[in-house]
Amino acid sequence: MENLTVDDMTLENDTSVPDNQTLGVWTDYSVEYKVVSVFLVSLICGVGIVGNVMVILVVLTTKHMRTPTNCYLVSLAAADLMVLTAAGLPNISDALCGQWVYGYAGCLGITYFQYLGINASSCSITAFTVERYIAICHPIKAQFLCTLSRAKKIIMLVWALTSVYCVMWLFLSDTKKLVYDNVALLTCAYKVSRSHYLPIYFTDFAVFYVLPLMLATVLYGLIARILFLNPLPSDPKGGSKKWKREASQGGRMVGSSSSSSTTAASRRQVTKMLAVVVILFALLWMPYRTLVVVNSFLGKPYLDTWFLLFCRLCIYLNSAINPVIYNAMSQKFRTAFKKLCHCGPQRMEKPASYSVALTYSVIKETSNGESPDHFTTEMDELHSPCDQCMPAGKIQYVVNASLAGREVNA
């Protein structure tokens, strides 16, 4: 994989020349390139850094947001932050100065954190994909596998393994002085030649891009078969009316179909959001990955400055766009983001007309063997929790109704 802050570090790493010879005349980037590069990179990285910090804050500071799925999203946000700061921000200084300005230590550290962020983000995506598959396709096992404590342990393991794996870049990176006819420039390059580096790159390419996408394709296909071919209705309001009508007629009757349809709708929403994250990961990394693969078989690599900028912007955009997706597709995240931005007490929202059905759904589905943490994520996707807004008598009524429902269905 090419270092994301320079143009020809890896794709054409044969920068050594015989003594008393130079590399020709060096020309700086054009003014148009500098303006476009600095503006777009600054904009994308700025939005991405703020967005990913907000994701981490709302999950860590809001109790009902601490779910297994959101733990993996925090891990992904931390990895994206690392990519934006270690790859995106140094690209600005490279465009302005035309050379490496962070010295030898900066070369080692920035290269290391670039790869750590990239690899950790790939592993985090794989982790929440597997979690979604188990939670939806194997709900009984999810009670024991898709828990908050297990998610934290998996995240710690992911970061520990990727941290150790990326240590090799500390020994492969080095600063080099390029002597031109009119100037001498310092670059951050790799010690090994391109021929020796390609096996390392293709291993990275297979382990952290191809395999995760293949696994995601298979697992999301199995998930779609369960969720999107489900014949149950998905209109929570209609189901709620049916539940109320049955409860008023029998007193002890419950709308099992409404709770099932509400659960199915919330599951679809969560799965759609995570699937979009995976799809964008595949699409936005594809130009860069394709470029490096093609250049691996070319005698003279293709190093057009504007196309390299496009490839890098796609990578930075991938790390910046996830919080936007959460805000657009998740009511739970959208409410938490608004509360965080206002930084003060918020007016309590009126409970949804089918909040009773949602509560019953959680109780019923959990009693059938699924993880409570797992359902906290799913049910809150439609409406954020507002237990304080529900009177105590109403809560007791819901519990009694759920118990009555279990007796009827027994």
Residue-level pLDDT at 201: 85
Residue-level pLDDT at 395: 44
323 located within any domain: yes
Distances (CA, A) of 213 to 125, 142, 146: 9, 23, 21
Q: What is the CATH number of the domain that holds 218?
A: 1.20.1070.10
In eight-state DSSP terms, residue 115 is: H
Cα–Cα distance, 184 to 191 (Å, whole number)? 19
Residue-level pLDDT at 370: 40
In eight-state DSSP terms, residue 65 is: G
Task: Enumerate residues 6+ apart whose C-beta is below 8 A from 82.
Answer: 113, 114, 116, 117, 120
CA angle 59, 388, 269 (to 5 degrees): 50
Distances (CA, A) of 277 to 101, 271, 332: 34, 10, 17
Cβ neighbourhood burial of 255 (10 Å; 0-12, 13-18, 19+): buried
386 located within any domain: no
C-alpha radius of gyration, the chain, whole number? 26
Residue-level pLDDT at 206: 93
Tell me the pLDDT tens digit for each residue of 367-385: 333 444 444 444 444 444 4
Residue-level pLDDT at 299: 77
271 located within any domain: no
Both tokens of 191, joined, read: 């010690």
Domain with 58 in it? 31-229+286-342
Residue-level pLDDT at 257: 52
Helix axes 103-137, 256-295, angle to 10 degrees: 140
137 located within any domain: yes
Cα–Cα distance, 230 to 234 (Å, whole number)? 9
Residue-level pLDDT at 260: 57
77 located within any domain: yes
Residue-level pLDDT at 22: 59
Distances (CA, A) of 162 to 30, 67, 168: 38, 23, 11
302 located within any domain: yes
Buried b / exposed e over 179-216, threshold 16 CB at 10 Å, is eeeeeeebbbbbeeebeebbebbeebbeebbeebbebb
Question: How many domains are contained in the chain?
Answer: 1
Residue-level pLDDT at 3: 59
Segment-wise mean pLDDT, segments of 10 residues, the chain, 410 residues: 46 42 76 94 96 95 90 96 94 88 92 95 95 91 90 96 94 88 86 79 91 95 82 44 46 50 71 92 94 84 90 96 93 90 55 39 38 44 43 44 41
281 located within any domain: no
Residue-level pLDDT at 258: 55
115 located within any domain: yes
